[in-house]
Chains A and B, each alone.
Chain A
């Protein structure tokens, strides 16, 4: 199997290189049969990589520790679900997943558009297979997942404890899907530049892939934030970590592209801008992958130091240099077709929002790479923390949300002053009212203009969407006589792009309300409590009732039972704990190896729409160190059954005679709205992405046919 896996990777690399060469040769010599060979290489690549990935999955499921990657990231005690998903917790497995997903989307787009875009398709194939060749060569030469371990160990190291969370297992495939989907518009953008066919056709063929990339990246980011909130013991959902930023940056530029491309499709404007966004998003996607893989910046999500950094950096540099060169050499073809541009129009708001989104991306890029910049300039690796990011990103985020509210209220091409006044009046009034109510009802908000502005911007965006939906449904009812609910459904069904997009705006606004409230009005306390003691956090009293201790197959859990009260009334019981996973070093002793290995927090969380109560515990292991050392000295060669008996004794001792423990207690208002808003945005994205009903497509075709018939009759 190992030989087969290696052979499949070599074959994949050969297919990628050969297919790219065949595509270019076919295009240059105008020999369609060679173009077809290139395209078929992409199809074959899917099959070969699917087989390779299936082999790796099978090795994880069978716990085949002869493979280095399995021994390093799984164990016999790892639950089946996590064994199935452990493949992408490793550098090698995640690279294979990346290139496999890339091959899937490449084949999908080539299958659907090669006939329609016959001049562009060969060059796009070459670019997509070029990406596959780069990642394939990484797999073959630097991070081979089919590396043999001889002799094979009896058991593996197990999955990193922090990754044992359902969200974390879906999060990487979603992010990789987003990154790889972004290569599709990138490849067709390059092909359009090379062939100088910069018309609307390539955008129409790849827009859906850009939207899918946006959706996958967004959903991946949200799931990562959820994992951070409910699994990591620090009590937050966003830390401006380089790897988090790496996913956010292409998401921002992709958001900008999805909006500004509509201006190009309608008016023939912003061609250079859109092309730059497409190419920039593709480069940022590879840059993001580079950040995760190279270990160049410190991150909780990165794979640590590796040999992949230099090749990745060279690849990113080549992509950036080539892109700039291509765009510069096609300036004339990229000139805008339209001339007139009204300031009070949806186009203007889109352009302004584009500038804000790209500004946000640049701020994040600067902050993320600041450690490297400062090291190059001064020799010291200084980094900027969350306060720096918050200072510069918050005003831009407020502006972006406000503009997302303004955009739908203005007409395309131009809005008259009277029309704009009519459309803006109610949403603006709603925004002012919300700001006034929040300032009056929440004393802490009155002193925070930034928070009030964010609430105002979010209210404007939500009110604008509500007004648009209301007016659209009213118009629909006038025409069709449908009931209110049915009219809304029909309206959205017939105009998925528009109303799906509006739902995204509302979702993002709701999300930012959650962010604003949970960061501005959050209460945090770090306390040390013994059983029976209380601590107050926000308007809650938290009592440490008793300690818990349990021994499982994979870990020893030591924790606490907390009684949460409000105004003297019991409202929730929380059970935070910390899981201790064993080290594979037998020299640490039968007890010591469990407490000197890795540990992960299980958060005690009380979830409600109005705010979460979040708790984490850090048991005082130090107080039991003498007992652990004594056991290790007396029973250095304890067998598995004895070791379990010893651990149970330690857990019982902790439960019955608990030392004081450290707790982090957080009350976070409206934090769940971050994910409720995020889910709304994802739903909106899905609505936009969903194909139009067949009946409407048929009607459009009939409309076009009727037009042709009309002109034929006119000529006759």
Chain B
């Protein structure tokens, strides 16, 4: 009984683990550059939200808020521009491939 069960488990494991070697489908993950910039974008959006809460809870004056708001939005816009370019590059590379 034990032997039979061991064989069943072995076959099941082999089928699951080695399936990619028998398949023609090649897995394509996300472009690392795009993934990194998306993570950067999310972090910047979170920073902007936190910055707004800091202002609303009285930690920043109106003048400080204006100055930093411009800086943060410029940083966010720069990330978004780089992200667009990275996505474009990634698309082109895929088309070429």
Select B53's contact among A41, A43, A120, A472, beta carbons within 8 Å.
A472
CB distance from B18 to the nearest CB of A (A): 6
Q: For the complex, is A475 an interface residue (Cβ under 8 Å from B)?
A: yes
B51 / chain A contacts, CB cutoff of 8 Å: 411-413
Select B84's contact among A199, A418, A422, A708, beta carbons within 8 Å.
A708
Q: Is A201 within 8 A of B35, CB to CB?
A: yes
Q: How large is the interface on A (under 10, 10 to 19, 20 to 34, 35 or more residues)?
A: 35 or more
CB distance from A86 to the nearest CB of B (A): 24
Q: Is B84 within 8 A of A475, CB to CB?
A: no
Q: For the complex, is B20 an interface residue (Cβ under 8 Å from A)?
A: yes
A204 / chain B contacts, CB cutoff of 8 Å: 39, 42-43
Contact with B along A480-511 (1 / 0, CB 8 A): 00000000000000010110000000000000
Residue among B16, B23, B53 with max Cβ neighbours from chain A (10 Å): B53
Q: For the complex, is A623 an interface residue (Cβ under 8 Å from B)?
A: no
Across the interface, name the chain A residue whose C-beta is closest to B33: A199
Residues facing A in B25-64 (CB within 8 A) are 26-30, 32, 35-36, 38-47, 49-51, 53-54, 56-61, 64
Cα-based distance from A120 to B80 in the complex (angstroms): 23
Q: Is B57 within 8 A of A495, CB to CB?
A: no
Q: Is B36 within 8 A of A200, CB to CB?
A: yes
A201-B32 contact, Cβ under 8 Å, with A412-B50, A472-B53: yes
B45 / chain A contacts, CB cutoff of 8 Å: 700, 703-704
Stretch touching chain B among A1-9, A177-185, A388-396? A1-9
Q: For the complex, is A381 an interface residue (Cβ under 8 Å from B)?
A: no
Contact with B along A401-442 (1 / 0, CB 8 A): 000000001111111101100110000000000000000000
Contact with B along A32-66 (1 / 0, CB 8 A): 11111100110110011001000000000000000
Q: Is A419 within 8 A of B64, CB to CB?
A: yes
Stretch touching chain B among A109-117, A152-160, A540-548, A677-685? A109-117
Q: Is B50 within 8 A of A203, CB to CB?
A: no
B2 / chain A contacts, CB cutoff of 8 Å: 1, 3-4, 7
Q: Is B35 within 8 A of A116, CB to CB?
A: yes
Across the interface, name the chain B residue whose C-beta is closest to A8: B9
Residues facing A in B43-92 (CB within 8 A) are 43-47, 49-51, 53-54, 56-61, 64, 68, 77, 80-81, 84
A35 / chain B contacts, CB cutoff of 8 Å: 27
Across the interface, name the chain A residue whose C-beta is closest to B76: A707
B29 / chain A contacts, CB cutoff of 8 Å: 114-118, 121
Q: Is A423 within 8 A of B59, CB to CB?
A: yes
Q: For the complex, is A711 an interface residue (Cβ under 8 Å from B)?
A: yes
Across the interface, name the chain A residue whose C-beta is closest to B38: A201
Q: Is B17 within 8 A of A41, CB to CB?
A: yes
CB distance from B71 to the nearest CB of A (A): 8
A32 / chain B contacts, CB cutoff of 8 Å: 20, 26-28
Q: Is B6 within 8 A of A44, CB to CB?
A: no
Cα-based distance from A174 to B56 in the complex (angstroms): 39
Cα-based distance from A19 to B13 in the complex (angstroms): 12
Q: For the complex, is B10 an interface residue (Cβ under 8 Å from A)?
A: yes
Q: Is B61 within 8 A of A419, CB to CB?
A: yes
Q: For the complex, is B5 an interface residue (Cβ under 8 Å from A)?
A: yes
Q: Is A419 within 8 A of B60, CB to CB?
A: yes
A37-B41 contact, Cβ under 8 Å, with A3-B2, A200-B36, A419-B64: no
Select B80's contact among A413, A475, A708, beta carbons within 8 Å.
A708
B54 / chain A contacts, CB cutoff of 8 Å: 411-412
- Give the A-binding residues of B (Cβ under 8 A): 2-3, 5-6, 9-10, 12-13, 16-21, 23, 26-30, 32, 35-36, 38-47, 49-51, 53-54, 56-61, 64, 68, 77, 80-81, 84
Across the A-B interface, give the 5 residue pairs with the lowest CB-CB distance, nearest first: A118-B29, A199-B36, A475-B56, A36-B20, A200-B39
